């Protein structure tokens, strides 16, 4: 006679086996990015285009009284902008649709200070139309800067302005120009203590953007989508959390201190990664007199390391000139910058290493840090907030950049780490001691030759994750 318990026993054994093989991923820790915020951060570099009356007057902040005919690009070609952006590796373009002077680069029905009142293209021009079309033709995302501060609108400083501003947003975001990946809200206001004072309805502005463009990431000093990095020098904090305490703060004068914006707040309940906006020229708008001061490749690489390499997105301003084209000097510089990045990051010197260390088991093994798939990551067991990973190379490797990537869909966790190498002579040597990682961290180290590398996580807000560790040898931007 058959034993009636046998099938039951085998089933239980099978269940135990499955349970042993299935290792759960860590639970998300604290605030995590939305899918849109993650996709936004993965863009890494976007182009900022300041363009408008200031391009023709040489001002940084127009007064709002400029005659509309001032805006007269002689040879506007947005495909030239997007061709340059694409060749240089940018993923999106953000244009100053309305800067502080109030001039609208599209025929806004809410204003009498727009391209429609200018003689440019006999009042039939629309820069947003041409740029959004060029972006879709070249596979780039399209974003808009629409300044709340408006020196032209007579309603500014009265309750009527907020409604007018919402209708302005609606005319851009309502679908006429297709999907908008980022809405840029500048917090600047130069009215001064005796000027007009507008109490902005930020909840209404943000709700309008979300209603019309649910996938748009909203930039302001304090988000909600992404935050200002706190300076215009191209420099994110060496410690840079993508979480920010936003309670009680608002864009502009009510924002947190710039040091807080620069580094974020560890463990805060809101996800608002830093965006580093910086100009390739001294000013935000094009001026002939500044063409000899376009940043060098070396300066751009420094900015790249201190923005993208410090867990921030880089929004690099390259302003079109009075023709409506990107100056040859700037476009050439961008292509040189691209060539330098391609050269530096061409060969991942970590590949082929054998990787060992603790892990929470299957699916989260140390070797995952060499996988190009972002979703293949290494993780420690729950409750374990320190640990090491060791890479052993088949032959000595020479490098000076260590690139790390946390798996941020589960939150930003790592708070302190250090890196040691084993020299061919057999000595261990520490080459870096840092704090945060985030989506991407590129650690600049001295140029070293190593037979092994050890990454030690010294502190983490919860069990750490790591999606990638890569090594590169930068022979162009060497600090030594
Ligand atoms: C600042 C503005 O006042 C500048 O003109 C520029 O647009 C910059 C990106 O943001 O706050």
Question: Which residue's alpha carbon is nearest to atom 11 within ligand 1?
Answer: 188
| Among the ranges given (15-24, 114-123, 177-186), the one the predictor scored with the smallest mean pLDDT | 15-24
Q: Is the CB of 188 under 6 A from ligand 1?
A: yes
CA of 283 relative to ligand 1 center, distance in Å: 10
Q: Which residue has the higher pLDDT, 228 or 14?
A: 228
Cα–Cα dist 326/339, whole Å:
19
Q: Is 186 in the pocket of ligand 1 (CB under 6 A)?
A: yes
Distance 99 CA to ligand 1 centre (A): 8
- Of the candidates 49, 39, 40, 41, which has an alpha carbon nearest to the alpha carbon of residue 334? 49
| Distance, CA of 55 to CA of 126 (rounded, Å) | 16
Backbone angles phi, psi at 330, to 5 degrees: -65, -45
pLDDT, tens only, 332-342 = 999 999 999 99
Q: Cβ distance 407 to 360 under 8 Å? A: no
Closest atom of ligand 1 relative to the 96 alpha carbon: 7
What separation in Å is there between the alpha carbon of 186 and the centre of ligand 1? 7
> In a mutational test of the pocket of ligand 1, which residue from 188, 190, 230, 317 has the highest number of ligand atoms less than 8 Å from its CB?
188
Q: Counting atoms of ligand 1 from 1, which one is nearest the CA of 145?
A: 7
Could you tell me whether strands 45-49 and 92-98 are parallel, antiparallel, or unpaired per DSSP bridges?
parallel
What pLDDT, on a 0 to 100 scale, did the predictor assign at position 1? 46
Q: If you measure from the C-alpha of residue 188 to the centroid of ligand 1, how many angstroms do you get, rounded to a whole number?
A: 7
Rounded CA separation 449/461 (Å): 32
Residue 329 has pLDDT above 60, yes or no: yes
For residues 414 and 370, what is the distance between their CA atoms, to the nearest angstrom?
19
Rounded to an integer, what distance in angstroms lies between the CA atom of residue 288 and that of residue 319? 11
Q: Whose CA is nearest to atom 6 of ligand 1?
A: 284
Domains in the chain, please, with CATH?
35-344 (3.20.20.80), 354-472 (2.60.120.260)
Give the residue whose CA is nearest to atom 1 of ligand 1.
188
Indicate the SS3 state at residue 332. helix
User: pLDDT tens digits, residue range 268-299?
Assistant: 999 999 999 999 999 999 999 999 999 999 99
Average pLDDT over residues 114-130: 98
Region 56-66 average pLDDT: 98
Angle, helix 160-173 to helix 202-212, in steps of 10 degrees: 20
* Separation of alpha carbons 204 and 207, rounded Å: 5
Indicate if ligand 1 lies below 6 Å from the C-beta of 277. Answer: yes
pLDDT grade for 175, boundaries at 50, 70 and 90: very high
**What is the pLDDT averaged over residues 72-98?**
98
Alpha-carbon torsion (473, 476, 477, 480), positive or negative: positive
Residue 7's pLDDT band, with cuts at 50, 70 and 90, is low
pLDDT the model gives residue 478: 79
Ligand 1 pocket member 182 (CB < 6 A): no
Give the atom of ligand 1 at the shortest distance from the alpha carbon of 188: 11
Dihedral of the alpha carbons of 212, 214, 219, 220, in degrees to the nearest 10? 70
Lowest mean pLDDT among 14-23, 159-168, 257-266: 14-23
C-beta of 221 in contact with ligand 1 (< 6 A): no
Distance 400 CA to ligand 1 centre (A): 35
Contact 432, 418 (CB under 8 A): yes
Query: Which residue out of 184, 186, 190, 283 has the highest number of ligand 1 atoms within 8 Å of its CB and is therefore the one to mutate?
Result: 186
Residue 10 has φ and ψ, to the nearest 5°, of: -65, -40
Q: Whose CA is nearest to atom 3 of ligand 1?
A: 188
Max Cα-Cα span within the chain: 101
Task: Identify the three-state secondary structure at position 70.
Answer: helix
CA distance 347 to 473: 8
CA geometry: angle at 272 spanning 266 and 275, to 5°? 110
What is the CA angle 12-17-18, rounded to 5?
A: 95
110 lines ligand 1 (CB under 6 A): no
The tens digit of pLDDT for each residue in 431-457 reads 999 999 999 999 999 999 999 999 999
* Mean pLDDT within 113-128: 98
Mean pLDDT over all residues of the chain? 96
Confidence class of residue 160 from pLDDT cuts 50, 70 and 90?
A: very high
Cβ(16) – ligand 1 distance below 6 Å:
no
Cα 391 to ligand 1 centre (Å):
45
Q: Compute the distance between CA of residue 326 and CA of residue 138 in angstroms, rounded to an integer.
A: 16
Could you tell me how many helices (H) and strands (E) the chain has, helices first? 10, 18
Tell me the C-alpha to C-alpha distance, in Å, between residue 462 and each of 25, 282, 385, 439: 13, 42, 6, 16
> 107 CA to middle of ligand 1, Å?
22
What 104-110 contacts at long range (C-beta under 8 Å, 24+ apart), as own/partner pairs, is: 104/168, 105/51, 105/52, 106/171, 106/172, 106/177, 108/168, 108/171, 108/172, 109/167, 109/171, 110/164, 110/167, 110/168, 110/171
As a whole number, mean pLDDT of residues 370-376 equals 97
CA separation, residue 304 to residues 234, 300, 308 (Å): 8, 6, 5
* Mutation to probe ligand 1, out of 184, 284, 318 (largest number of atoms < 8 A from CB): 284
The residues pairing with 417 across neighbouring beta strands, listed in sequence order, are: 434, 457
User: 307: CA distance to ligand 1 center in Å?
Assistant: 18
Count CB neighbours of 233 within 10 A.
Answer: 10
Pocket lining: 149 vs ligand 1, CB cutoff 6 Å:
no
Mean pLDDT of 195-199: 95
Q: For ligand 1, what atom is nearest to the CA of residue 190?
A: 3
pLDDT for 22 equals 78
């Amino acid at each position: 006679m058959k034993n009636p318990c046998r099938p039951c026993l085998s089933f239980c054994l099978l269940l135990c086996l499955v349970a042993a093989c299935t290792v759960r991923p860590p639970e998300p820790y604290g605030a995590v990015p939305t899918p849109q915020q993650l996709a936004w951060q993965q863009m890494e570099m976007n182009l900022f285009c300041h363009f408008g009356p200031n391009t023709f007057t040489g001002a940084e902040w127009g007064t709002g009284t400029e005659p509309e005919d001032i805006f007269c690009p002689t040879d506007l070609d947005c495909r030239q902008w997007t061709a340059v952006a694409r060749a240089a590796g940018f993923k999106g373009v953000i244009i100053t649709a309305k800067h502080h002077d109030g001039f609208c680069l599209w025929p806004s029905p809410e204003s009498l200070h727009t391209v429609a009142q200018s003689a440019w293209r006999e009042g039939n021009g629309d820069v947003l139309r041409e740029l959004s079309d060029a972006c879709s033709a070249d596979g780039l995302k399209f974003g808009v800067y629409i300044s709340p501060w408006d020196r032209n609108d007579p309603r500014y400083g009265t309750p009527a302005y907020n409604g007018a501003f919402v209708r302005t947003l609606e005319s851009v975001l309502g679908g006429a120009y297709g999907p908008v990946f980022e809405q840029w809200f500048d917090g600047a206001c130069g009215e001064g203590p005796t000027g007009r004072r507008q109490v902005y309805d930020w909840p209404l502005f943000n709700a309008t953007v979300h209603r019309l463009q649910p996938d748009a990431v909203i930039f302001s000093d304090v988000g909600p989508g992404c935050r200002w990095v706190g300076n215009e020098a191209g420099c994110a904090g060496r410690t840079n959390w993508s979480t920010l305490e936003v309670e009680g703060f608002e864009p502009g004068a009510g924002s947190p201190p710039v040091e807080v914006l620069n580094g974020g707040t560890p463990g805060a309940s809101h996800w608002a990664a830093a965006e580093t906006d910086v100009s390739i020229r001294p000013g935000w708008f094009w001026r002939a007199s500044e063409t000899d001061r376009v940043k060098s490749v070396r300066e751009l690489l420094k900015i790249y390391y201190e923005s993208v390499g410090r867990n921030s997105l880089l929004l690099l301003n390259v302003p079109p000139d009075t023709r409506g084209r990107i100056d040859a000097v700037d476009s050439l510089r961008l292509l040189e910058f691209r060539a330098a990045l391609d050269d530096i990051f061409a060969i991942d010197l970590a590949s082929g290493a054998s990787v060992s260390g603790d892990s929470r088991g299957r699916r989260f093994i140390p070797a995952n840090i060499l996988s190009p798939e972002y979703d293949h990551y290494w993780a420690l067991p729950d409750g374990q907030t320190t640990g090491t990973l060791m890479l052993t190379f088949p032959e000595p490797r020479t490098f000076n950049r260590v690139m790390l990537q946390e798996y941020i869909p589960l939150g930003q966790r790592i708070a302190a780490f250090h890196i040691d190498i084993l020299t061919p002579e057999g000595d261990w040597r520490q080459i870096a001691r840092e704090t945060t990682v985030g989506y991407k961290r590129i650690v600049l180290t001295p140029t070293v030759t190593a037979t092994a590398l050890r990454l030690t996580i010294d502190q983490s807000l919860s069990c750490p994750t790591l999606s990638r560790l890569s090594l590169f040898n930068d022979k162009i931007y060497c600090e030594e």
